[in-house]
A and B are shown apart, each in its own frame.
Chain A
Amino acid sequence: MYRYDEFDHAFVRQRANQFKGQVARRLSGELTEDEFKPLRLMNGLYLQLHAYMLRVTIPYGTMSSRQLRQLAIIGRKYDKGYGHFTTRQNIQFNWPKLEDVPQILEDLAAVEMHAIQSSGNCIRNVTSDHYAGAIATEVSDPRIHSEVIRQWSSLHPEFSFLPRKFKFAVTGDATDRAAVKFHDIGIIIKKNDAGEVGGEILVGGGMGRTPMIGKTIRDFVPERDLLAYVEAILRVYNLYGRRDNKYKARIKILVHERGIEEIREKVEAEFAQIQGSSLTVPQEELDRIAAYFADPDFEAFDAEALEAINRELEVRKFENRDFAAWMKTNVKPHKQAGYAIADITLKGIGETAGDITSDQMDVVADLTEQFSLDEMRASHEQNLILPHVKQADLFELWSALNSHGLGTPNSGLITDMIVCPGMDYCALATARSIPIGQEISRRFADLERQYDIGGMKIKMSGCINACGHHHAGHIGILGVDRRGEEVYQITLGGSGDETASVGARVGPAFTADEVVDAIETIVNTYLDLRESPEETFLSAYRRVGLDPFKEKLYAAA
Chain B
Amino acid sequence: MPLHKNGVQIEDSWTYLGEEESPTLGDRTILSLDQWKQNREQLLEGNHSYGIVLAPLDEVEELRDDLDRIAVIAVTFPTFANGTGFSQAQLLRRMGFKGELRARGHIIQDQYMYLDRCGFDTLETDKENVVEAWKEALSEMTVFGQPSGDDRQPAYLARHAKGNKAAAE
Q: Which residues of A contact B (CB under 8 A)?
A: 5-8, 10-11, 14-15, 17-18, 21-22, 31, 35, 38-39, 121, 148, 151-162, 227, 231, 235, 238-239, 243, 273, 277-279, 281-282, 284-285, 288
**Contact among B56, B90, B143, B147 for A7, CB-based, below 8 A:** B143
Interface residues in B132-169 by Cβ distance below 8 A to A read 136, 140-148, 154-160, 167-169
16 further A-B contacts with Cβ under 8 Å, apart from A31-B108, A121-B81, A158-B86, are A14-B142, A14-B143, A21-B136, A148-B156, A152-B154, A157-B86, A157-B113, A157-B114, A157-B118, A158-B90, A158-B117, A158-B118, A161-B80, A235-B91, A238-B87, A239-B87
Minimal beta-carbon separation of B132 from chain A (angstroms): 12
Distance between Cα atoms of A161 and B11 in the complex (Å)? 30
B interface size (C-beta, 8 A): 39
- Collect the chain B residues with CB atoms within 8 Å of residue A279's CB: 146-147
B64 within 8 A of A: no
**Contact among B81, B144, B146, B167 for A161, CB-based, below 8 A:** B81
Q: Which residues of B contact A (CB under 8 A)?
A: 56, 80-84, 86-88, 90-91, 94, 108, 110-111, 113-114, 117-118, 136, 140-148, 154-160, 167-169
- Collect the chain B residues with CB atoms within 8 Å of residue A6's CB: 167-168
Whether the Cβ atoms of A278 and B154 lie closer than 8 Å is yes
Minimal beta-carbon separation of A145 from chain B (angstroms): 12
Whether the Cβ atoms of A155 and B141 lie closer than 8 Å is yes
Distance between Cα atoms of A231 and B86 in the complex (Å)? 13
Q: What are the nearest 6 A-B pairs in CB distance? A: A161-B83, A157-B117, A157-B114, A278-B147, A11-B143, A7-B155
Distance between Cα atoms of A151 and B157 in the complex (Å)? 12
Distance between Cα atoms of A264 and B96 in the complex (Å)? 25
- Collect the chain B residues with CB atoms within 8 Å of residue A156's CB: 145-146, 148
**Contact among B82, B114, B141, B158 for A15, CB-based, below 8 A:** B141
- Collect the chain B residues with CB atoms within 8 Å of residue A148's CB: 156
Looking at chain A's contact residues, the main secondary structure is helix
Whether the Cβ atoms of A18 and B147 lie closer than 8 Å is no
**Contact among B84, B91, B140 for A21, CB-based, below 8 A:** B140
Whether the Cβ atoms of B140 and A14 lie closer than 8 Å is yes
Whether the Cβ atoms of B82 and A161 lie closer than 8 Å is yes
Distance between Cα atoms of A285 and B157 in the complex (Å)? 8
Distance between Cα atoms of A21 and B90 in the complex (Å)? 28
Distance between Cα atoms of A159 and B89 in the complex (Å)? 12
Minimal beta-carbon separation of B71 from chain A (angstroms): 24
Closest residue of B by beta carbon distance from A274:
B94
Minimal beta-carbon separation of B18 from chain A (angstroms): 26
Closest residue of B by beta carbon distance from A12:
B143
Whether the Cβ atoms of B156 and A158 lie closer than 8 Å is no
Whether the Cβ atoms of A288 and B159 lie closer than 8 Å is yes
- Collect the chain B residues with CB atoms within 8 Å of residue A15's CB: 141
Closest residue of B by beta carbon distance from A154:
B145
Of B143, B147, B157, chain A has the most CB atoms within 10 Å of the CB of B143
- Collect the chain B residues with CB atoms within 8 Å of residue A281's CB: 156
Of B117, B158, B159, chain A has the most CB atoms within 10 Å of the CB of B159
Known A22-B110, A155-B141, A157-B148; judge A7-B83 contact (CB<8 A). Answer: no
**Contact among B142, B143, B146, B167 for A152, CB-based, below 8 A:** B146
